Every structure is written in structure tokens, then in C-alpha cells.
Amino acid sequence: MTSEALLIAGGTVIDPATKRNGRFDILIENGAITSIKPAMKAREGLTIVDASGKLVLPGLVDLHVHFRQPGREDKETIETGSRAAVAGGFTAVCPMPNTTPAVDHGAAVEWARQEGARVGLVDVLPIGALTRGQRGEELTDFGELFDAGCVALSDDGRPLADSLLMRRALEYAKVFGRPIIQHAEDFALSAGGVIHEGRMATVLGLRGIPSESEAVVIARDLALAELTGGWVHVAHLSCSRSVELIRQAKQRGVRVTCEVTPHHLALTEEAVAEFDTAAKVNPPLRSEQDRQALIEGLTDGTIDCIATDHAPHTDWEKDADFDSAPFGISGLETALGACVTALITPGLLSWSRLIEALALNPARIAGLNGHGLATGEPANLTLVDPDEEWTVDPRRFVSKGKHSPFAGRRLQGRVMKVIRRGKVVGP
Amino acid sequence: MGNGAVTTQGATQTAQWTKKDLLGLRDLTPEEIRLILATAESFREISLRPIKKVPALRGKTIVNLFFEPSTRTRTSFELAAKRLSADIVNIAASSSSLSKGETLLDTVKNLEALKIDIIVIRHAAAGVPHLIARHTGASVINAGDGAHEHPTQALLDLLTIQEKKGRLEGLRVSIIGDIAHSRVARSNIWGLTKLGAAVTVCGPPTLIPPHIEALGAQATYDIGQAIRDADVLMLLRIQHERQEALLVPSLREYRLRYGIDRERITLAKPDVLIMHPGPVNRGVELDSSVADGPHSVILNQVTNGIAVRMAVLYLVAGAAKSEALDDE
């Protein structure tokens, strides 16, 4: 909390929650928005933030990050991850529970939240494990986890294979009105795979992961969600068949939401050429036709939100042969630029739809109330220069993870300022 | 050309070798491939001399860094290096050194510190030679990386076909067997198509990778068709362990459907060449009567392997030298 009063002046406000899209000034007092008007006069004691030529957006929300703490603090911590999130324009993030040990009990959720609060840069909203130790054998104590403050449950990285357990999880989670997040992958079909099963896999002689290893699990989960009335959220969609399955399920009224990553929207399997492990990610970067289908899904509302799946690794692990290197991209700091470059610049998506996917919808899925630029709401906002072009240099990332398939690429759209609860926190 | 032992009159006059490494045939131009073949032709004669040695690479240090067991490729490189008077060291590295915490790049940096000129590497993982080449100033020669490429094998195959048929352009080559897991198949498809041959791959659908046409090859599941049309039949080893991955129901089933035996070979053109990168799985992909029969050039392939590897060692060593001079 700060008693300082801020005036965000001269910017173009885009806020899908209030459907604002135009020139507004925003007054912030005591950490909350107190006034939004087309033009406000400066008064004494007011700090002016000149936002002319900038977009003023609700703070971005990332439903899917890996902060590695506890267990692999050499890859990332809640502190370094929070800093990377701010650099990427985010004011809230949801860390996945696949740490060591896994976040499968209330105390682990509480610790992560407290550490997030101590760092104090972004809202850290943990996702709890779906099964004990993420072993896929017995469900965690959902009530304890939600009481401790987690926002969803997932065994991310280890898809729940047991159909009966998935059914019970979807049924039982209805008590709490929160989603089960599924990393959809049939491990029998994807076994040994390191790259999309497509042209590049054959050229490079690498074992492929077929799109169907994702689609068959989504098909099952949609059937179970329909059976139970439970809420399934599908993580990181990667292929056209998955988009089609979810589009049809939504038409039938199945309670399903889903996300896509910036890298799947911007890149294809070609990014792996010459064995670039920075582009090794799971699910893998797929074909151009899949990429187009993902963009279409985002445009027509089949895909609810964009999440980074920020997955930092150390240099020594990533500087290995393609089979041995771990899956994962350091994605927080390129998310906005990648989306603007892939979607806005070519005219495929509107800014308001992009911000729906990067802020409003993930906030709703995470159960954050409000999260719009309206009077009385917490002042969480992100200022963006929509035109600035920059070259990605992963060595300069704030995150400990320095591996990005966008390395050396020119991106358009840059985060200029992030304000959380009325305080400028970066970048 | 050093020491007058070698001439490359067969090579296209304009072709010149400039690459530090030989990582695969996909990266090479047709001219570069022809240059290697022409150089190999001129080296072939050295192995026929009573004193099988020229001083072309005297003072160069080469390391055979093999992370997978290999007898013929390793020996072939070793003899090639010795016939060029280079010093060569064999390192049979197991991946266990990696489990001790040392990374592949640690190993490479150690070799760098030992002042090695050329690293010949074989590894079970695709792309390892590329990773190493990016991190060392030494020349790197790919001696087989996973299911990716095995360029010197394909080059010796090209040399053998050219020797026996007098040309490559316009020939039809059928590669039969486990295409999906074969680095030999991939390198041969690149090399053969770049030099104007047409390649058909043949095997059951479980052994043909998707998008194989993207490499420029045709695919068929019909063994009769693959045999009838071909000037060259290149057989690949069917590995027992693939059975466990459910790719073929049994070796017997494979032999009955796709094995080349006395009867099936009668479908072929009378002057067909039978090739195999070895070791032959007798009685599976190839019957002994065919492997040892009049069409077989399997042992010519082995002999040509030395000439091709001499050529490759010689060319990359020369490129590294001129690069060093440019730096000065």
C-alpha cells in the first residue's frame, strides 16, 4: 500500500472488462483506482506518469509458470520468477506445483504465497497438485489446498492417466468451483519423443510426438467433464485437432476452458532446425497448419487465454544434445512481444481480444475478482509501447532461464511500466 | 595438394572445400559431394600400394570419439588416418561419464585442451556432432548420430555405385528396411538425390517415417515394386530390439515379407547391385546366397570406406588450415 497518488495521463486505455478502448486518464490513490476520465487536471502532490503514445492495460495474468522453488533454485526462484514476470508485464502468476517436493499439501501452498508476498512484485497464486506427489495414484486433500489459497489443481508435466481418478477429481472439485488443469499427453504415444512428429522429425532423425498424443487425452477429459459436470482447463493447446475438440465441446455446453502459449502461436517445428534446444518444449512446436488453427481458436473464443508455460532451465542442462536437454522455454519476458508480433502486427487479432486472453480471462479462471480498470479496483496495470521494436537477447533476461527460441528475433511491442496496487514495480 | 600423392582431376574445377566440419550430406552442395568422391578416387590407389602410407596429414592429431560401439566405422577411420600419417587416438566413451556429472561439452573442452585437430564422433543421439562443432575450433566429422546422418557411409555408397555403374545420375536406388531409425538411409537419400539418382524407400509402414517425401524419396510397402525398378538395392539391418517397440511382429514375419532371398532376387534387373552398410543380419533382411552372390558389392563398400574417409579427413584438415591462415 502506498499513500502516493498517481495520475496515468495521456494513454490509450484498453480494458475488456469495462469495454473501454480509448483515451483516458487514470487516477490511483491508496493502491486503488479512484477515477477514470477522458482528461484530468494535475493537482499538487500527484505524481504524473506520462502515458502518451502508450497503451494502458489491466495487469497481465499468467496461469502457467514454473518457478522451481523449492527444489531447483538454480533454475528459478519465486523471487527471480516474480522479477521476470514484472519484466513481462504481468501482475499475477500461477506457479505449477511440480517442485521438489510437490505442492501437494496446504503448508506448501501457504509457503509459496508468503514467499510471493515477501518478494512483493506480483500476486503469486499457486496451483496445487492433483495427486499426492503428482504420482497419479491418490487425490490430494482438495479442501486443504483450496483453503490454503491455491486457485486450481494440476499434475502438470505428469498427465493423469487413470480415467477413474480423473472422473473423481472432476466430480469432487465441483465442491470448490475451481478447475482441474490437465497437461494432455498420452505417454504411451509420446514415449521417447522430443519434437513434433512431422517433417523436421524425419529430417533430423528425432523421435516425434504426434499431435494425437494430446488430442486423445483431451477427448477423454471432455467426455469426463461432460459426464461429471466438472470443470476441466486444458493447458497449452498445440494442435488443430485439440482446438476442434474443444470448439465442439463448448458448443455442447461442456465446462471447459483452455490456454495456448505465445510460442505455439508464433513458431512452428521449423524453429528446431539444426537441433536448437532452446526450441525444445512440450508440447512441441507443431506445423504451420496447427499454428493457424490455434490463432483461429483464439480469434473465435474457443481458446480462452494465453499462458506462457514459463519453464526456465540452467545452461548446462540446455547446452546438451537434443534428446538429453530438458523441455522448456523461458517465456515470461517475450510473451507480449511475441503475441503482438504474431497476432497484432499482421492484423489477425484486436488489442482488446489479446488483452482478454492475457488478462481478463486468465484472471477469471484463477478466480481473481474484478481485474478490470474500474473505480474501486486494485490498481494493477501495465503500460505498453505498442510500436517499439526490440531484439530478443536471452542473456539479458531477468529470469534465470536464458533459453528462448525467440533469441535474435525482432519483436514489436514492449512493456514500459508495471503498476501493482498503485506502486510502480518495474520493469 | 600436399606431397604430390594426391590429385583430384576428376573434381569439378571450381569446387573447393571450405567447411570446417562434415556433419551431414543435407548441408552439402552437389559440387562438394563430387569433390569428396573425386578426392576419394585419387586416394583409393594408396591402399593398393605395398607401402600404404602418404605423409599428407603428418603432425595432425585425430580422435575417434565413439559413444556407441562400432568396429567397422571406427577401424575404417583409424586406417584412413594412419594411411595419411596422422596420429589417431581411440576413445570409447560410454554415456556413463555423463551420469558422473560431466557433460558432453566438458568432454569436448578437455579434447580442446589436448590440442586435437579433428574429432570423429559417433553418438546415439541425433545432433551431437552439431552441438560439438559449435563449441570447438577442431574439425568435427560425423561418424553417425542417432537416426540423423552417417555421411561417410553414404559417401562410400555413392563411390561404390559410381565405380560399378559409371554414374549416379538417372539411376534408381531402392533402400529397403528400417528407414525410420536409419541414419544411413537419410544420408543416402540426400546424397543420391543431390547427384541425380531417384530413391525409393521400402518397408512396412511402421518402419517408414512420416513425411519421408520431404527428403525427396518415394515410399512403397511393396517389396516387388522396390526390387523390379531398381538399379541398386540397398538393404538395411533390421535390429532385434525394434521388435520390442512393436514395429514388426517378428523377424520371421519380416524375412518372409521383405527379406531378399534367392527367389526374390530373380525379380531384379540382371545387373542390379546389392549393397548393405553392415553388419548383415543373415537370414533376416538378406539371405546368404544373395549377400555372397554375384550382385553383391558389400566388400567393395568396405574397401571404398577407407578412401572416402581419407578424403574427408584430408579435406577438412585443409579447410581448417586455410581458416587458420585467414585469421592471421
Q: Is A206 in CB contact (< 8 Å) with chain B?
A: yes
Q: HSE on the CB side for B30, CA within 13 Å?
A: 9
Q: Which residues of B touch A (CB under 8 A)?
A: 26, 98, 103-105, 123, 125-128, 130-131, 145-149, 183, 186, 209-212, 214-215
CATH of the domain at A42: 2.30.40.10
Query: Is-contact B25 B151, C-beta < 8 A?
Result: yes
Confidence of residue B12 (pLDDT cuts 50, 70, 90): very low
Cell 483453503 sits at which residue? A147
Residues A27 and A149 occupy one common structural domain: no
Pairwise CB contact (< 8 Å): B215 & A202: yes
Q: Whose CA is closest to A95, among A72, A136, A123?
A: A123
Cβ count within 10 A of residue A133: 14
The DSSP result for B54-81, as a single string, is: --TTTT-EEEEEESS--SHHHHHHHHHH
pLDDT at B103 over 90: no
Under 8 Å CB pairs connecting chains A and B tally to: 65
B26, B127, B186: residue with CB nearest A275: B127
What residues of chain A lie within 8 A of the CB of B183, using their CB?
A: 205
- Out of B140-144, B158-162, B206-210, least confident range: B206-210
The predicted model gives A295-303 an average pLDDT of 98
Residue A105 lies in a domain: yes
Percent residues over pLDDT 90 in chain A:
95
Query: How high is the pLDDT of residue B245?
Result: 67
**Looking at the DSSP assignment, which residues form a beta bridge with residue A417?**
A383
- Say whether both A332 and A267 belong to one domain: yes
CB contact under 8 A, A322 and B125: yes
Put simply, whether A191 touches B (Cβ < 8 Å) is: no
**Which residues in chain A have Cβ-Cβ distances shorter than 8 Å to B131?**
275, 319-321
pLDDT in tens, A116-155: 999 999 999 999 999 999 999 999 999 999 999 999 999 9
Q: Among A227-236, A326-335, B2-11, name the one with the lowest average pLDDT.
A: B2-11
pLDDT for B93 equals 78
pLDDT for position B15: 72
The C-alpha cell of B124 is what?
A: 546415439
pLDDT of residue B4: 39
Q: Which residues of B touch A202 (CB under 8 A)?
A: 209-212, 214-215
* Cα–Cα dist B65/A125, whole Å: 49
Cβ-defined contacts of A114-119 (< 8 Å, 24+): A115/A69, A115/A78, A115/A79, A116/A78, A116/A82, A119/A78, A119/A79, A119/A82
The ipTM estimated for the assembled molecules is: 0.90
Classify burial at B94, counting beta carbons within 10 Å of its beta carbon; exposed 0-12, middle 13-18, buried 19 or more.
exposed
**Parts of chain B belonging to CATH 3.40.50.1370:** 2-149+303-322, 151-301
Answer yes or no: do A321 and B128 touch at CB < 8 A.
yes
The grid cell for B126 is: 541425433
* Residues A275, B126: C-beta atoms closer than 8 Å: yes
User: What is the predicted pLDDT for the residue at A162?
Assistant: 95
What pLDDT band is residue B16 in, cutting at 50, 70 and 90? confident
Measured in angstroms, the CA of A202 and the nearest CA of chain B are apart by 6
Q: Which helix (H) or strand (E) holds B145?
A: strand B139-145
Query: How close A269 comes to chain B (CA, Å)?
Result: 13
**Residue A81 grid cell:** 520468477
Range of A33's domain? 5-56+377-426
Instruction: Look at chain A and report how many structural domains it folds into.
Output: 2
Do A235 and A261 sit in the same domain of this protein? yes
Domain shared by A65 and A51, yes or no: no
pLDDT tens sequence across A311-342: 999 999 999 999 999 999 999 999 999 999 99
State the average pLDDT over residues B77-86: 97
* CATH for B2-149+303-322 (3.40.50.1370, 3.30.1490.20, 2.40.37.10, 3.30.565.10): 3.40.50.1370
Q: Is the pLDDT of residue B6 over 80?
A: no
All residues of chain B having their beta carbon less than 8 Å from the beta carbon of residue A319 are 103, 105, 131
Q: How many CB atoms lie within 10 A of CB A67?
A: 31
Q: What is the pLDDT of residue B319?
A: 76
Mean pLDDT of chain B: 90
C-alpha cell at B38: 573425386
CATH number of B151-301: 3.40.50.1370
Q: How many Å lie between the alpha carbon of A316 and the closest alpha carbon of chain B?
A: 8
Average pLDDT of span B98-127: 87
Q: Is residue A223 part of a domain?
A: yes
Half-sphere exposure (CA, 13 Å, Cβ side) for A226? 15
Q: Is the pLDDT assigned to residue A7 strictly greater than 80? A: yes
Amino acid present at A224: L
- A286 plus A137 within the same structural domain: yes
Let me know if A276 is exposed, middle or buried by CB neighbors in 10 A (0-12, 13-18, 19+). middle
Note whether B141 and B313 are within 8 A (CB). Answer: yes
Exactly one of A25, A309, A323, A387 is catalytic; name it: A309
- Would residue A370 count as lying in a domain? no
Of B103, B126, B131, the CB nearest to A206: B126
**Has residue A139 been placed in a domain?**
yes
Which residue from B minimizes the CA distance to A189?
Answer: B245
Sort out which chain B residues have CB atoms less than 8 A from A208's CB and list them: 210
Q: Are A125 and A179 in a shared domain?
A: yes
Q: Are B215 and A197 an interchain contact pair (Cβ–Cβ within 8 Å)?
A: no
Helix H or strand E segment including A91: strand A90-95
Residue A371 belongs to a domain: no
What pLDDT, on the 0 to 100 scale, is given for residue B250? 86
One domain, residues A45 and A178: no
Q: Are the beta carbons of A320 and B183 separated by less than 8 Å?
A: no
pLDDT over threshold 50, residue B131 = yes
The answer to whether residue A372 sits within a structural domain is no
For residue B101, name the pLDDT band (cuts at 50, 70, 90): low
Q: Give the single-character DSSP code of A230.
A: -
Are A265 and A294 part of one and the same domain? yes
CATH number at residue A91: 3.20.20.140
Average pLDDT, chain A: 96
**Which A residues 310-339 touch B at CB under 8 Å?**
316, 319-324
Question: Is position A315 annotated as part of the catalytic site?
Answer: no
**pLDDT over threshold 80, residue A1:** no
Length of chain B: 328
Nearest Cα residue to B183 out of B239, B137, B257: B239
pLDDT digits (tens, 9 = 90+) for A102-121: 999 999 999 999 999 999 99
C-alpha cell at B7: 590429385
pLDDT of residue B323: 52
Asked if the Cβ–Cβ distance from A321 to B123 is below 8 Å, we say yes
Whether A349 and A410 map to the same domain: the answer is no
**Count of beta carbons in the 10 Å neighbourhood of residue A3:** 9
**Given an 8 Å threshold on Cβ–Cβ distance, is A320 in contact with B131?**
yes
Q: Do B148 and A205 touch (CB under 8 A)?
A: yes
Q: What pLDDT digit, counting tens, does each position of A254-279 carry?
A: 999 999 999 999 999 999 999 999 99
Residues A229 and A303 in one domain: yes
User: Which grid cell is A367?
Assistant: 478466480
Mutate to test the interface with B, among A276, A321, A322 (most CBs of B within 10 A): A321
Residues A320, B215: C-beta atoms closer than 8 Å = no
Final residue in a domain of this structure, among A316, A343, A365 = A365
Whether residue A355 is found in the same domain as residue A304:
yes
Count of all residues that appear for chain A in the document: 427
Q: Which residues of B touch A316 (CB under 8 A)?
A: 103, 105
CB under 8 Å to B279, separation ≥6 — which residues?
B72, B237
| Chain B residue whose CA is closest to A196 | B210
Residues B147, A205: C-beta atoms closer than 8 Å: yes
Residue A42 within a domain: yes
Out of B130, B183, B211, name the one closest to residue A202 (CB).
B211
Which residues of chain B does A197 touch, with a Cβ-Cβ cutoff of 8 Å? Answer: 210
Residue B22's SS3 state is strand
* pTM of structure: 0.93
Closest partner CB to B215 (pick from A203, A316, A320): A203
Within 8 A of A205 by CB-CB distance, chain B residues are: 126, 145-149, 183, 186
Report the pLDDT value the prediction gives residue B243, as an integer from 0 to 100.
54
What count of other Cβ atoms lies within 10 Å of the Cβ of residue B103? 17
Q: What would the pLDDT profile of A162-217 be if each residue is shown by its tens digit?
A: 999 999 999 999 999 999 999 999 999 999 999 999 999 999 999 999 999 999 99
Q: Which residue intervals of A313-404 are DSSP H helices?
A: 315-318, 335-339, 351-355, 361-365
DSSP string, A246-276: HHHHHHHT--EEEEE-HHHHH--GGGGTTT-
* pLDDT computed for residue B244 by the predictor: 55
Average pLDDT over residues B164-171: 98
pLDDT band per the 50, 70, 90 thresholds, residue B98? low
Q: What is residue A168's predicted lDDT score, i.e. its pLDDT? A: 98
Burial (CB count <10 Å: 0-12, 13-18, 19+), residue B299: exposed
Nearest to A198 among B125, B147, B211 (CB): B211
If residue A47 lies in a helix (H) or strand (E), which one and from where to where? strand A46-50
Q: What is the pLDDT of residues B261-278, one digit of tens each?
A: 999 999 999 999 999 999
d(CA A170, CA B155): 58
A residues 233-252 lying closer than 8 A (beta carbon) to B? none
In this structure, which amino acid lies at residue A351? W
Domain match, A207 and A295 both: yes
Q: Is the pLDDT of residue A54 over 80?
A: yes
d(CA A415, CA A358): 13
> What is the mean pLDDT of the segment spanning A2-29?
92
pLDDT tens digits along B24-53: 999 999 999 999 999 999 999 998 999 999
For A317, name the nearest residue in chain B, comparing CA atoms only. B103
Average pLDDT rounded to a whole number, residues A370-392? 94
